[in-house]
Amino acid sequence: MRRTIIFLVLLMLFGGRAIAADYPIQPVPFTAVDVGPGFWQSRMETNSRVTVPYCFERCEQTGRIRNFVAAANKDPEGFEGIFFNDSDVFKIVEGASYTLALKFDPKLDKYLDDLIAKFAAAQEPDGYLYTAKTSQSRGRYGQDPRWTGLDHSHELYNVGHMYEAAVAHFQATGKRNFLDLAVKNADLIDEVFGPEPGQRTDVPGHEEIEIGLVRLARATGEPKYLDLAKFFVDMRGNEDKREKLYGQYAQDHARVVSQSEAVGHAVRGGYFYAGVADVAAMTGESEYIDAIDRIWNDVVGRKLYLIGSVGQQGAGEGYAGAYKLTNLKAYNETCAAIALAMWNHRMFLLHGDAKYADVLERIVYNGFLSGVSLSGDQFFYPNPLECDMRFRFNQGDLQRSPWFNCSCCPSNVVRFLPSIPGYAYAVRDDDLYVNLFLAGKATADLASGSVELVQQTDYPWSGKIRMTVSPESTQRFGLRLRIPGWVRGEVLPSDLYRYEDVTPADWKLRVNGTPAHAPLVDGYAMLDRLWQPGDVVELDLPMPIRRVLANEQIEYDRGRVAFERGPLVYCIEGADHDGQVLDTWLADNTTLAPEHRPNLLGGITVLTGSANAVYRDEDGQSANREKPITMIPYYAWCHRGANEMAVWIPRSADRAVVAPLPTIASTSQASASHCGRSDTIEAVSDQMEPQHSGDHEIPRFTWWDHRGTSEWVQYDLAKPTTLSNVNVYWFDDTGRGQCRVPKSWKLLYRSGSEWKPVKMPSEFSTAKDQWAIVEFDPVKTDAVRIEVELQPTFSGGILEWRVN
């Protein structure tokens, strides 16, 4: 009923204009899905109760909202933060609008109206809205003319999120106050950009506006917004129509119809491919569909992590290449998981194959959900598959953070989580698809009439699903129930990973208590019948514990195994194993058993069994011992403090990590004049051998972003010790970053309260790619210090420092 009212309102407001084509399969909107008690209800309640107000509070504290006031007042000193922070506020408004649509809150409704009034004040008379430039801020892009530096300015990216938020707000409230601002801005961009003489042919560096424009076209029925989205798609990589392309990082190296693999920034790419799918669905451009089919196959076949995420450290938040799926330095940005989920959902709407929903489910339960804490106010930016307590993967931290300078991920979580029910069901004519299993009630409008479907399930802990199907009256239609790949013995629709035992599980289906025959087509059990109100469908999906092996071309996973149960990927965490898991290995004949623990981490099913661990005996030799093991769902890790974690576990002792013997350096307390936020002082003594001075595969210590300064790093020894030699391996990332070997350095030791230079030292080398070895007259001391002079305009650092 609610959707019907909104549709009639749209007709009155926009004169009945409509977009003729759309996806052949249409999602049942989240507003028609009432999530019941179970896994997702608690997460959605936390998002509404905690995450939405928390993120607005953070936006107030960090100036993101004040920036709109600064723009209204043309106040360059009032702007704070990054030039694309507008987008964070818009995404949170979108999430808050979903919250309002599900449950009206007058306080939140008024807060949004007040916030939208600030947006209106910041918008220039012709519709332009970009606070960094309107305020004439002193920061990057603030003083530049409009549409300058579009490859990185996010000028068009910001408003893409604004369009999505404005449509969500209008659909939730029926108010036009925000939608009018979006329409005014889109009309301006439609005047400025396009194929006509005098118009600009640039494209946004960071895609997103394409999705926003299509959504605006649907909401208003205005075809020109769809045309503009298609224009941006056509212009990307179009060297015949543009003077300068941005390159692979922005998927702007070739026209999309000529592309075959995913390259560049993973979030940009995910949004772009989703936008291409939208345009293809509404224009019928088959070449677009062929292109995103090819790119999807490349991702799923060569570049997707087991948790359903993409992106590696050191690859610019993007794709590093085929099979380059590191674990410790997996980037897997939370935003990239969300963009990938949006893209996969659209692929399903185009093709109707369960393989896309399989990937979507993998993302939702694993790669995405790990990005937000159970409490709703702590976040991961990257989501690695291993933690060694050395590499500070989360923007300089080892656990979830309350916020980031660039907080695109928390603000994306706010809007994506409440939209998940909208991915559960879809319709095509008289077919009703069930893609996600979640407790609650949904109403779907089929060609033959409305159908209410009630799900009862404890999914993902149990595969038993009971559905009560109630059409308005007796009617014939098809119920399409997804039988997940993990049931059918398939990790992914590719050979990137495989189950050790590929035997399909024996799933069962009953209708009104009677076993039902349902042919499996494109991953769906198909029930075509005459339905009566109150018919009951029971689907039993067995959840065996599956051992996962990776394609041998993924070198980081060779000789390792991972575990899944149902849609969940599992990991081992130090909190359950006295702080250590990287010493653990599992023999191939190891058996694990599921055990539900309702009081652990919000209620989870763990996997328990017996494993092995490597250690050093009294003689310092490597040895093995038996060790009990408890595995938890990957999404639930790091809720009990920072600790070691691993998804891929060695299958033999030689691949497990045996703790090195203690050294003078490793037992000392390291400190420094300054340490880079993304680095760690402990790296200087972690006993990891550098391969070269630019080695980004191991932890490092740097003085970043101090440049050309005098700095120091020191060891406070565990006890007074006689020293006569130090070895230093300098960090220098020439060609990649701004760290260089130092201009000069010296070595001091502490004598009483004084620091004294060592006597008769050998050369203080600053050579790259080798150990700088300094020998000196023996001294007995309780501390030793390196003092450096950094090169002018450059920083510097150390990969390893040994004392002997």
The mean pLDDT value for 368-382 works out to 98
The predicted-structure confidence for 695-749, as pLDDT tens digits, reads as follows 987 889 999 999 999 999 999 999 999 999 999 999 999 999 999 999 999 999 9
**pLDDT for residue 13 is more than 60:** no
**pLDDT attached to residue 19:** 66
CATH class of the domain whose range is 425-482+506-540:
mainly beta
The predicted-structure confidence for 320-360, as pLDDT tens digits, reads as follows 999 999 999 999 999 999 999 999 999 999 999 999 999 99
What amino acid is encoded at 703 in this protein? W
The mean pLDDT value for 654-678 works out to 92
- Which is catalytic among the residues 55, 387, 408, 571? 408
How far is Cα 272 from Cα 278, in angstroms, rounded to an integer?
Answer: 10
Question: Is there a catalytic annotation at residue 317?
Answer: yes
The predicted-structure confidence for 508-530, as pLDDT tens digits, reads as follows 999 999 999 999 999 999 999 99
**pLDDT attached to residue 618:** 79
DSSP string, 70-136: HHHTT-GGG--S-TTTHHHHHHHHHHHHHHHHHS--HHHHHHHHHHHHHHHHHS-TTS---HHHHTT
Place of tokens 């917004």: 225
Query: Are the C-beta atoms of residues 433 and 425 closer than 8 Å to each other?
Result: yes
The predicted-structure confidence for 381-395, as pLDDT tens digits, reads as follows 999 999 999 888 999
CA angle 294, 300, 306 (to 5 degrees): 170
Q: Report the chain's C-alpha Rg in angstroms.
A: 28
- If you count them, how many residues does the chain have? 804
Give the ranges where 453-557 is alpha helix by DSSP (H). Answer: 485-488
| Residues 6 or more apart in contact with residue 126 via CB below 8 angstroms | 188
Among 375, 391, 389, residue whose Cα is nearest residue 331: 391
Mutual angle of helices 286-298 and 334-351, in 10-degree steps = 130
Count of C-beta atoms within a 10 Å radius of residue 151 = 17
Q: Write the DSSP symbol of residue 364.
A: I
CA angle 111, 114, 119 (to 5 degrees): 125
In this structure, the strands spanning 797-803 and 701-702 are: antiparallel
Count of C-beta atoms within a 10 Å radius of residue 267 = 27
Question: Is there a catalytic annotation at residue 57?
Answer: no
**pLDDT attached to residue 71:** 97
| Residues 6 or more apart in contact with residue 64 via CB below 8 angstroms | 58, 80, 81, 85, 86, 88, 89
The predicted-structure confidence for 240-294, as pLDDT tens digits, reads as follows 999 899 999 999 999 999 999 999 999 999 999 999 999 999 999 999 999 999 9
Among 125, 156, 126, 153, residue whose Cα is nearest residue 141: 153
Peptide bond into 705 cis (omega under 30): yes
Backbone angles phi, psi at 536, to 5 degrees: -115, 125
The SS3 assignment for 342 reads helix
The mean pLDDT value for 37-60 works out to 97
**pLDDT attached to residue 2:** 39
**pLDDT for residue 100 is more than 80:** yes
**pLDDT attached to residue 207:** 98
Q: What is the mean pLDDT of the chain?
A: 95
Question: What is the reported pTM?
Answer: 0.92
User: 17 falls in which pLDDT band (50, 70, 90)?
Assistant: very low
Count of C-beta atoms within a 10 Å radius of residue 118 = 18
**pLDDT for residue 7 is more than 60:** no
DSSP string, 126-163: TS---HHHHTT-SSTTTTSPTT-STTTS-HHHHHHHHH
How far is Cα 154 from Cα 87, in angstroms, rounded to an integer?
Answer: 9
Among 720, 756, 43, 716, residue whose Cα is nearest residue 416: 43
Q: Give the residue extent of every domain in the chain.
A: 63-246, 425-482+506-540, 553-655, 669-803
How far is Cα 545 from Cα 738, in angstroms, rounded to an integer?
Answer: 47
User: 11 falls in which pLDDT band (50, 70, 90)?
Assistant: very low
What amino acid is encoded at 23 in this protein? Y
How far is Cα 34 from Cα 438, in angstroms, rounded to an integer?
Answer: 10
What amino acid is encoded at 472 in this protein? E
Among 639, 73, 170, residue whose Cα is nearest residue 373: 639
Q: Between the CA of residue 755 and those of 659, 746, 747, 764, 788, what are the distances in Å?
A: 33, 12, 10, 18, 15
Count of C-beta atoms within a 10 Å radius of residue 488 = 17
**pLDDT attached to residue 16:** 37
HEC letters along 263-332: CCEHHHHHHHHHHHHHHHHHHCCHHHHHHHHHHHHHHHHHHCCCCCCCCECCCCCECCCCCCCCCCCECC
- Which is catalytic among the residues 94, 210, 285, 317? 317
How far is Cα 551 from Cα 497, in angstroms, rounded to an integer?
Answer: 6
CATH class of the domain whose range is 669-803:
mainly beta
The predicted-structure confidence for 593-605, as pLDDT tens digits, reads as follows 999 999 999 999 9
**pLDDT for residue 116 is more than 80:** yes
The mean pLDDT value for 179-184 works out to 98
CA angle 126, 132, 135 (to 5 degrees): 70
The mean pLDDT value for 565-577 works out to 98
How far is Cα 610 from Cα 93, in angstroms, rounded to an integer?
Answer: 48
**pLDDT attached to residue 9:** 37
Place of tokens 């996962």: 548
